[in-house]
Structure 1
């Protein structure tokens, strides 16, 4: 039973120095998944209207990220800390499975696919309301006030000091806005934007974002910390969007060609055309998305990267909360992943989609010792990942086996179910994979060699040296933090699996010289979860 507290109207007098700070009273509304699903269904309805394509596209993104996931979690309970990533990742998984199934079964009709999903999501909430004798209108009556931990006593500090983190974030975005018009085009330096035009201001903006995060976590202010992460995503990921009219990377256009083929022919390319004919789920999702909203695929690809980074930040934050870390530690972990992720696999590609699904799935597995349903739901996410990307599912299977073998995830048969799905799909499409080679040798040193060869160009060699040094620093720091946690008798085994298991891929596959990049990218989640607590301890 929840007690309802009446809000106070009088402001408390300033607390004298040395006196205890009174607790805060915050408005709270218990989150009901059925209500959230209704919001998602409403967004799906807007996506089917005659509004401008941009509005419909934003509405459909909202539907994907909260509608199907909330509908599933209306009936399946998982830990509250897993909801932050569980809802959007399950939504992405359900939409992926629905669209690729429609394509495989020759039932391709984007408006009907969207309509069916909206009706299913709304029907789920309607049935839940009927069973529980309530309605969506009851949301307004569920608000109440609760006591919360007091903020640190800051009455004796200036306005600037009290809001320093927000001011730093605002300054970072302001400098970024001033820098974007001065960024060069094709005449940019070979050393990158940071060394040409107004590019050095971008480094200043990121430094200010880092300062803002440190100030926020020191003062135990969550909203300013989240704001600093958002500012970092803007500076690091929106720069390319703002400075270009179309997507930048060459491979984006190959992926757009696949989406265009699906939209024109309403079917998958014939077998043997390309390996994407067998791993088409990502392209089916976006062919459906663009046909349902009328948004050009090239526009969707142009704005894809910032959205993916927001989802990565949510999955990292949720995973940190699931393993018991505080909110400010979880925010620090999300920021770490954002600023050290130099791997350019966040563009319009199956890898980016699969990475979000993979991080969300690992969060569900980490929650499964306390919630068996979380582990079972992970199978749904994994099933969506398998027809999306070739490599990521096999790393996730390895992590799942290690977690289940050492009782860090349950039920144990989940790992075997995932392995059966991955191997079964691989066998069905073996002819498409064999020309590329299942294994490229057992030498991890050879497989770790990248496809970026030394060219003799100082700028290119300099860039390679910087990113390699950053990678080594991150991995070694994570290892040192793991030793620090182990010596302080804090749980470290599961986090170590997440951080270092991806290196096992180097014992069998070079992935065309890209394996080492994927290894580092997969390791970021575990590394951040190891580094963030040590960072917070140092700040404190």
Structure 2
């Protein structure tokens, strides 16, 4: 009931929000024009998660629902309210896709991002194969979809964490609240971060050393056992594929660049 009230209180007051309301936005961003009831709904989402953690046993469906609805509340709000998708750099990347569609070639001397064109080439290939010409909706919903996809390797990674179920859910909750906001737009780095999470999760879950003291396991340690030699060969091939896609999709070092970050 608390979760249902939180969702209703968050979204229902936004039905009358239009461009006129958004024009009053100040340096604080969307939070400066949101109704008080919506902010109260956000607070109730936090209360619902805390209440789920206080239960004597783990309710996966309830905790997962709170987590997913929190992601939607945080990252779908700009897509629902704002007339145009964020950010300016994402629109530049659509220009990269258009250039590839017209010429089929990269231009490394024009922009540093052409030195790792794998992401743009892959996106343009999929768009052309699906017959999609207007990618505005992709820009609008890309941050939300990407943040939801991040949760899959995150939950896999948490299986290797030696902690109780409350600590693991708190880690997932903090990951959602402190997500890579401002870098999750349509870009190579946002997608490569997803590959990075998958890479790290596979290493820590199936390539970790077995426990040295049988019968003495810490909380959460027995969730996933290390993979056998045969499975490790397959997983190693997956790791190599992820590494190859990362190299082609985005630079390895430095960790960020002025050409692929939004203007601050």
Structure 1 residues 275-354: aligned runs within 5 Å: 275-295=112-132, 296-325=134-163, 329-341=167-179, 343-354=181-192
Contact 1:279 1:387 in 2 (8 A): yes
**Do residues 365 (structure 1) and 197 (structure 2) align?**
no
The residue correspondences of 1:163-312 to structure 2 (distance < 5 A) are 167-181=1-15, 182=17, 184-198=21-35, 200-219=36-55, 220-265=58-103, 267-295=104-132, 296-312=134-150
Q: 1:218 to 1:249 in 2, by over 3 A?
A: same
Alignment CA distance shift 1:284-1:168 (3 Å): farther
CA apart distance, 1:379: 2.1
- The question of 1:380 aligning with 2:217 is answered no
Task: Report if the CA contact (8 A) 2:89-2:260 is conserved.
Answer: no
On the 8 A contact 2:6/2:45 being kept in 1, the answer is yes
Q: Whose helix proportion is higher, 1 or 2? A: 1
CA separation in 1, counterparts of 2:173 and 2:9?
A: 20
Work out whether residues 246 and 302 of structure 1, in 8 Å CA contact, stay in contact via their aligned partners in 2.
yes
Measure the CA separation in 2 of the matches of 1:201 and 1:309.
Answer: 25
Deviation at 1:223, TM superposition (A): 0.5
In 1, Cα distance between equivalents of 2:260 and 2:189: 12
SS at match of 2:249: coil
Structure 1 residues 342 and 180: CA distance shift in structure 2, 3 A: farther
For 1:235 and 1:244, locate their aligned partners in 2 and report how far apart those are by CA, in whole Å. Answer: 14
CA displacement, residues 178-231 of structure 1 (integer Å, 9 cap, x when unaligned) = 233326323312222222242x44432332222222222322211010000111
Which whole-Å CA distance do the structure 1 matches of 2:169 and 2:258 have between them?
Answer: 35
**Which runs of 5 or more structure 1 residues have no equivalent in the other structure?**
1-166, 395-437, 439-504, 516-540
CA distance in 2, matches of 1:338, 1:174: 20
Give the SS at the match of 1:189.
Answer: coil
* Per-residue deviation, 1:337: 0.7
Q: What is the count of residue pairs matched by the alignment? A: 232
Question: What is the rounded CA distance, in whole Å, between the counterparts of 1:235 and 1:286 in structure 2?
Answer: 27
Tell whether the 8 Å contact from 1:262 to 1:287 is kept in structure 2 after alignment.
Answer: yes
User: Offset of 1:247 from its aligned partner?
Assistant: 1.0
Q: CA offset at residue 352 of structure 1?
A: 0.8
* SS of aligned partner of 2:12: helix
Distance in 2 separating the partners of 1:326 and 1:384: 34
Unaligned stretches of 5+ residues in structure 2: 209-225
Change (3 A) 1:216 1:299: same
Deviations 1:317-347 (A, max 9, x none): 1101133445554333222111122631111
Contact 2:187 2:260 in 1 (8 A): no
SS in 1 for 2:22: coil
Q: Evaluate the alpha carbon distance shift between residue 172 and residue 288 of structure 1 in structure 2; reply closer, same or farther with a 3 A threshold.
A: farther
Query: Structure 1: how far apart are the matches of 2:69 and 2:170?
Result: 14
C-alpha change, 1:285 and 1:326, in structure 2 (3 Å) is farther
The structure-2 alpha-carbon separation of the partners of 1:216 and 1:375, relative to structure 1 and needing over 3 Å to count, comes to farther
**Which residue of structure 2 aligns with residue 500 of structure 1?**
none
